[in-house]
Amino acid sequence: MLAGIDGVRQSAQNQTLDLPNGLIGNLTIDLISDWNDSLWKGREGSGERDNKIPSPQSPNQTERIFFNESVASEREASMIDAPARNAGLLKMDHPHVAIVGATGAVGVEMLLCLEQRNFPLGKLKLLASARSAGKTMKFRGEDIVVEELTHDSFSDVDIALFSAGGGISLEFAPSAAAAGAVVIDNSSAFRMEADVPLVVPEINPEAAKNHPRNIIANPNCTTIISLMALAPLHQAFGLRSVIASTYQAVSGSGAQGIVELEEQMQAITTGQPFTPKVYPRQIAFNVIPQVDAFTENGYTKEELKMGNEGRKIMSLPELRVSCTCVRVPVYRSHSVSITAQFERPVDASAARAAFLNKPGVQVVDDIANKVFPVPLDTTGKDDCLVGRIRKNLVFENALDLWVVGDQVRKGAALNAVQIAEIL
């Protein structure tokens, strides 16, 4: 078992990780991936890592945060007849699934989601770099050998879940699509392509059915978490504009972000000198108003994603969005403060009612008893939580609210698996 934050640091340095509940067997998890996005230089200004690394919020929470303790019961998998698939006769009821980047943090979380949700796959293929090939990962009680990713890996695959960075997606996703697999890509490589659907299943599931290039894009983690709160309100009141400030965990920067926070905290408390490496400024006991690289208009790429992706997902080309993204010294789960303006009058009570029976989002809002969402509440959980709902005092027909979600799970792995469930 991983021994608290010191274990996270040592594991990141050694690129190994001991995982709970026997889920992973003989596995070296790619905490520092050898498949880096071409834009990722190991520093904050180079971009938010596509393959985010989960980490415990405190030493005694390691098992709960890396993986939910309950796993799906073991069951026998039925094999798919490859010739039938290639002849176009296969129905997507027991698809052959591949995970690209299977040994990375999001890949491991994808595997967990497939098992916990009893995904009806017929066969599972795990793909990773040459360094990880030959390792084993356990799924439904069986050891599965990790294979090296090649352009020929997809001849018998129906659904390919990609989470190995934008560079790998750009190189290998077209090969998977050409072989007949539907690619669900967690990177930013294809998100804004006109002929690639960008899907949050609770919001625009119908978009997943139309994928002419056999590629479906998973949105940015902060976009997903924010829209889980905004979509029900848009449905009820008509969304016009969004002003948002994000509070993004260091795990969004990869293992290096986790290590830097822990090492800086230790250095400060023991009076030792240190030099920031991942972030442009000290992250321990501090916040940094930069996530991703700055653009010519003064916004970062991360800040522009929320508007560009939100307009596409919600089919709101006129939606106005202004966002400030901030890195905070939290290990896992992102938070977003949102001011949303609507076309129709709205108040807090009506807003809370709009979330009733909406999947994937819960209202946690009882200020009289100091009940509101915090990152620890969502870490390792499926649902996003919304609270601090109140009428804005500046704009007409506007609300202020606070939303929190696990960026590794709903912001990445779970959303991809939910898309696969639609197919």
C-alpha to C-alpha distance for 181 and 331, rounded to whole angstroms: 35
Residue 189 lies in a domain: yes
Is 399 found in the same domain as 336? yes
Catalytic residue among 96, 211, 234, 334: 334
- Longest CA–CA separation in the chain, Å: 67
Is 114 found in the same domain as 99? yes
Is 252 found in the same domain as 182? no
Name the least confident of 89-103, 290-304, 381-395: 89-103
Q: Is the pLDDT of residue 77 over 80?
A: no
Residue 18 lies in a domain: yes
Burial readout 150-183 (b: 16 or more C-beta within 10 A, e: otherwise): eeebbebbbbbbbbbbbbbbebbbbbbbebbbbb
pLDDT at 44: 54
Is 395 found in the same domain as 271? yes
Catalytic residue among 221, 323, 325, 384: 221
Q: Is the pLDDT of residue 72 over 70?
A: no
Is 342 found in the same domain as 212? no
**Domains in the chain: how many in total?**
2
Residue 50 lies in a domain: no
Residue 40 lies in a domain: no
pLDDT band at 31 (very low <50, low <70, confident <90, very high): very low
The CATH number of residue 206's host domain is 3.40.50.720
Is 241 found in the same domain as 207? no
Average pLDDT across the chain, whole number = 83
Is 361 found in the same domain as 230? yes
C-alpha to C-alpha distance for 1 and 258, rounded to whole angstroms: 18
> Please, are residues 338 and 242 in contact by the beta-carbon 8 Å criterion?
yes
pLDDT at 400: 98
C-alpha to C-alpha distance for 305 and 22, rounded to whole angstroms: 37
Is 168 found in the same domain as 21? yes
The CATH number of residue 296's host domain is 3.30.360.10
Q: Over the stretch 81-105, which tens digit does the pLDDT of each residue have? A: 433 333 333 447 899 999 999 998 8
Helix (H) / strand (E) element for 169: namely helix 166-178
211 is catalytic: no
Is 240 found in the same domain as 185? no
C-alpha to C-alpha distance for 287 and 279, rounded to whole angstroms: 10
Is 159 found in the same domain as 17? yes
Residue 44 lies in a domain: no
334 is catalytic: yes
> Please, are residues 304 and 377 in contact by the beta-carbon 8 Å criterion?
no
pLDDT at 253: 84
Is 199 found in the same domain as 133? yes
Is 415 found in the same domain as 403? no
Q: List the domain range (segments joined by +) for residue 251.
A: 223-408
pLDDT at 348: 97
